[in-house]
Homo-oligomer: A and B are copies of this chain.
Amino acid sequence: MHLHIEPSNGLAIYDQIVRQIKFAIASTTLREGELAPSVRELARELTINPNTVARAYQQLQFEEILESVRGTGMVVKKAATGRCRKERSVLIQERLSSALLEARKSGISTSELRTLFDKELKRLEKEEASA
């Protein structure tokens, strides 16, 4: 469970937390019934304000992914794993699709796009291997 926040990703901080918690559940880094990191702990770790984490958790609670247990913490709800996996697919796809759409509209050809994709993917794999 170590999240990473990009200060000016376009996405709001609380939104980045929401996404990453969902992804952590999707990949079973966080399992059903387990406790999510506490508001204050996560805020300290990311050096952001506890209110911002609380806001993210509030949304995850609204989306039936986390459950608040007063005095104990936020518990990952039953059946959340499956739901998060589906959402992960959608979120990733949306982002990729939107990037490709912009690229096409800007006049980049599909073949250039394919080349760019391969290059970026290889660069990523190399980085992961060295890490």
A interface, over-half SS: helix
Which size class do A's interface residues fall under? 35 or more
Identical subunits present = 2
A92 within 8 A of B: yes
Inter-subunit contact A121/B100 (CB<8 Å): yes
Q: Annotate A90-101 by CB proximity to B: 1 below 8 A, 0 otherwise.
A: 001101111111
Residues of B within 8 A of A98 (CB): 9
The distance from the CB of A24 to the nearest CB of chain B, in whole angstroms, is 9
Pull 9 A–B residue pairs with CB atoms less than 8 Å apart, ordered by A.
A88-B107, A92-B103, A93-B120, A96-B99, A96-B100, A100-B124, A110-B121, A110-B125, A114-B121
Known: A97-B124, A114-B121. 20 other contacts (CB 8 A): A4-B105, A9-B10, A9-B98, A10-B10, A19-B102, A26-B106, A27-B107, A88-B107, A92-B106, A93-B120, A95-B99, A96-B120, A99-B99, A100-B120, A100-B124, A101-B124, A104-B124, A104-B128, A110-B121, A117-B117
